[in-house]
Amino acid sequence: MTYGACFGDVVGAPSEFSGAPRDVATMELARSDYDCTDDSILTCTVAKALTDWDGRDDDAFVELLSRRFVVDVHDYPDVSWGGRFVEWALAGGHGSYGSFGNGSAMRVSPVAWWASDEAEVLRLARLTALPTHSHPEGIRGAQAVALAVFMARMGSSKQKIRAALEARFDGDDGAFPYDLSRSVDDIVASGYGINETCQHSVPEALCAFFDDSSVDYESTLRSTLRLGGDADTQCAMTGAIAEAMYGMPEGYEKNERERLRRVGLLDRLETFEKVCPAYRNRRRA
């Protein structure tokens, strides 16, 4: 969910444009000097918005998120926001610009803990995408990550999660097919590099989670870094899923809480944790 996604964000941030770290197998994951990127900020905002919404009017929730995202851009001007996102926010955040970038997938994980069943997960994931990512691929990317987190926290095996995602996102409806059979080695050998679209970053991040080398929270982040892709966003995705499946090591969570405290975001997650029983009772590593 959120601490797992936010820690993944800062772990990946130094490698966003530099490829896989040479010492990825041994590097200290908490060594990053980043406090957050847009991934962490918007994840925290989604979490807080869920606690402030009465759950009745979907349009009202989309409008609430839009307003909060605009405030985030003004409150955190030095974060490396996406160019179109900044233009949208500075123009008042009125109406989606139809993005299919991976921003919808990086911020979605709180809904997987808030929702009570798969149908609600998919509905809420769509709503969190709509302020900016109304393109079908932007919505699908958010739904794929949210569903993976939900199934992981409900105790599904990696095999069952992969089968469910492949069946739902197989491309039969004319959309981009998610090939989740690839290993990290396969993806690296293909010449994969940074790509900020949902179509070419969400499936690869999911493959890193499913990879045989990913056996706990930490190894999942290392597998994700090996991709050499959009590291902060992909580690936010896989960090969220791995936290749900394996639990997040106490030291990493403590580290992340302190980071979020420094930048004024911790209260959003603590509020979410307080009112969301599923997350409050989450699995511990």
Per the prediction, the chain carries an average pLDDT of: 97
The pLDDT value recorded for residue 173 is 87
Task: Report pLDDT digits (tens) over 19-61.
Answer: 999 999 999 999 999 999 999 999 999 999 999 999 999 999 9
pTM above 0.95, yes or no: yes
Fold of 2-280: ADP-ribosylglycohydrolase fold (1.10.4080)
Q: Counting Cβ atoms within 10 Å, is residue 96 exposed (0-12), middle (13-18) or buried (19+)?
A: middle
Please determine, for residue 1, whether its predicted confidence score (pLDDT) is greater than 80. no
SS3 of the chain: CHHHHHHHHHHHHHHCCCCCCCCCCCCCHHHCCCCCCHHHHHHHHHHHHHHHCCCCCHHHHHHHHHHHHHHHHHHCCCCCCCHHHHHHHHCCCCCCCCCCECHHHHCCCHHHHHCCCHHHHHHHHHHHHCCCCCCHHHHHHHHHHHHHHHHHHCCCCHHHHHHHHHHHCCCCCCCCCCCCCCCHHHHHHCCCCCCCECCCCHHHHHHHHHCCCCCCHHHHHHHHHHCCCCHHHHHHHHHHHHHHHHCECHHHHHHHHHHHHHCCCHHHHHHHHHHCHHHHCCCEC
Spell out the domain ranges in the chain: 2-280
For the record, the structure tokens of 125 come out as 């994931």
The pLDDT tens digits for 95-140 are 999 999 999 999 999 999 999 999 999 999 999 999 999 999 999 9
